[in-house]
């Protein structure tokens, strides 16, 4: 535990951040995002980041904070529809964007973590996604080559971890945190709770500790809501 647990996010990122690096970030919408680590990256002032994530957060939440501070030079993502700052920078030519179908993005991260250089998929054939990529025929169908993604670091959010770094994710937060974690050369996890090694049933561990290099306890958290929808109160 002493080897992996750090007192705060800034300490956990110490010595790892540099301009122009690639960061894989876990989370789905605002669910399961590594909030404390993103804030520490914001405070570090590191520039020209390439961020790989399912989405770019929303205005001033999640990776949206790094967009607003102009620390992200390129986003590799599958969904960016809730971020006006992202839209403004993209349309203004200030931000490079690589759109990736969601399943393809998950597999590119998984492939990178598994040491797979690339794979063929039918997703995107005949669209802008396929432009400039190798095409190959399999059983009479056209596939395109997608490259695995390797990141300099991964920042992820776990629910619980044991002292060895074995992680359990909570519900939807499992979606992209796992592939993002394995794709990084160094993985930093923020978790809500650390329990003694041996507390988890081995069959219930979502991410083995061998993938986790550094950890922090980030709790407590405030529940963030992307869209708050309420009904009009009916007249008495």
Residue 12 phi, psi dihedral angles, 5° rounding: -70, -25
Among 177, 183, 104, CA closest to 150: 183
Sign of the dihedral through C-alpha 88, 9, 156, 219:
negative
Among 162, 200, 207, CA closest to 184: 207
- Per 3-state DSSP, what percentage of the chain is helix, strand, and coil (rounded to 5)? 25, 30, 45
> What is the pLDDT at residue 221?
80
Contacts of 199 (CB under 8 A, 6+ apart): 162
Measure the CA–CA gap between 126 and 138, rounded to whole angstroms: 16
Measure the CA–CA gap between 24 and 182, rounded to whole angstroms: 9
> What is the pLDDT at residue 107?
97
Is there a contact between 26 and 155 (Cβ–Cβ < 8 Å)? Answer: yes
pLDDT in tens, the chain (236 residues): 558 999 999 999 999 999 999 999 999 888 899 999 999 999 999 999 999 999 988 888 899 999 999 999 999 999 887 788 999 999 999 999 999 999 999 999 999 999 999 999 999 999 999 999 999 999 999 999 999 999 999 999 999 999 999 999 999 888 899 999 999 999 999 999 999 999 999 999 999 999 999 999 988 887 776 667 787 777 66
> What is the pLDDT at residue 236?
60
Measure the CA–CA gap between 156 and 165, rounded to whole angstroms: 12
Measure the CA–CA gap between 112 and 198, rounded to whole angstroms: 29
Contacts of 93 (CB under 8 A, 6+ apart): none
The label of the residue with tokens 């794979």 reads 119
> What is the pLDDT at residue 227?
66
Q: Quick one: which H or E segment has residue 35?
A: helix 35-44
Domains of the chain in sequence order: 9-217 (3.40.1080.10)
> What is the pLDDT at residue 2?
54
Measure the CA–CA gap between 5 and 12, rounded to whole angstroms: 8
Is there a contact between 30 and 63 (Cβ–Cβ < 8 Å)? Answer: no
Among 170, 168, 171, CA closest to 200: 168
């Amino acid at each position: 535990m002493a080897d992996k647990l750090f007192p705060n996010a800034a300490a956990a990122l110490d010595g790892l951040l540099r301009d122009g690096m690639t960061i894989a970030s876990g989370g789905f919408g605002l669910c399961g995002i590594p909030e404390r680590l993103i804030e520490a990256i914001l405070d570090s002032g590191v520039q020209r980041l390439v961020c790989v994530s399912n989405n770019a957060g929303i205005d001033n939440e999640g990776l949206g904070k790094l967009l607003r501070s102009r620390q992200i030079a390129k986003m590799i993502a599958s969904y960016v529809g809730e971020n006006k700052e992202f839209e403004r920078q993209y349309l203004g030519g200030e931000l490079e964007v690589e759109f990736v179908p969601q399943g393809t993005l998950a597999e590119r991260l998984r492939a990178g973590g598994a040491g797979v250089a690339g794979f063929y998929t039918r997703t995107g054939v005949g669209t802008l996604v396929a432009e400039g990529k190798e095409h190959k025929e399999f059983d009479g169908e056209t596939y395109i080559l997608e490259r695995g993604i390797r990141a300099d670091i991964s920042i992820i959010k776990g629910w619980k971890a044991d002292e060895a770094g074995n992680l359990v994710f909570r519900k939807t937060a499992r979606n992209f945190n796992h592939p993002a974690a394995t794709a990084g050369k160094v993985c930093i996890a923020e978790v809500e709770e650390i329990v003694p090694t041996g507390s988890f049933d081995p069959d219930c561990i979502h991410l083995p500790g061998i993938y986790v290099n550094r950890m922090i306890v980030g709790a407590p958290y405030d529940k963030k809501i992307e869209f708050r929808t309420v009904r009009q109160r009916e007249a008495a």
